[in-house]
Amino acid sequence: MKFVTNVEKWKLRNRRLPIAGIAGKSTKVGDMAEYVVGKIDDIPEGKGIAVEAGRRTIAVFRAGGKLYAIANRCPHKGASLCEGEVVVEDGIIRCPWHHWNWQLGDGKLEADPRQALRTYEVAVEGDDVVIRV
C-alpha cells in the first residue's frame, strides 16, 4: 500500500478492495473485527491515509510517533479528512474544506467538544498496522 493523499485516486488505483489490508486480512476478536491496513512505513509522520475496513472508510494518521484512526468523513460537508493538514504539535487534523479542527486522540471538534468523530483502536503487530472496528 502506498502513501495516499487523495481517496478517490487511491480507490481507483486499488480497485476498491473489499477489506482493507495488504491481502485483505480480517479477523474477528470478540465483537470487534481486526483489519490489517498496511505497514507502519506506509504512513509517514505528519500525514494520513484512507483505508477501507469493511464498509467503513477510516483515516489513519501518524503524528508525534503515535498512530490514530478516525472516521474519514467530516460531518460538516463530507470532506475526506485524510487530505487535511495534520497539526502534529496540537494533535489535530484540519478539515481540508472548511478548516474544522478535529482532535486525533478522541475525535472531538476543537471548537465544540460536544461534537466528535468516531475513533478506532490502532495497534502495531510486527510492522503491520491493525485497526479494530
pLDDT string in tens for the chain (133-residue length) = 333 344 444 443 433 333 333 434 555 656 679 999 999 999 999 999 999 998 899 999 999 999 999 999 999 999 999 999 999 999 999 999 999 999 999 999 999 999 999 999 999 999 999 999 9
CA distance 102 to 74: 9
Note the CATH architecture for domain 7-132: 3-layer Sandwich (2.102)
Cα distances (angstroms) measured from residue 75 to each of 95, 97, 98, 125, 131:
10, 12, 11, 31, 21
Q: Which helix (H) or strand (E) holds 124?
A: strand 119-125
Over its C-alpha atoms, the chain yields an Rg (Å, rounded) of 14
The closest of 35, 46, 55 to 123, measured between CA atoms, is 35
Read off the pTM: 0.76
Give the start-to-end residue ranges of the domains of the chain: 7-132
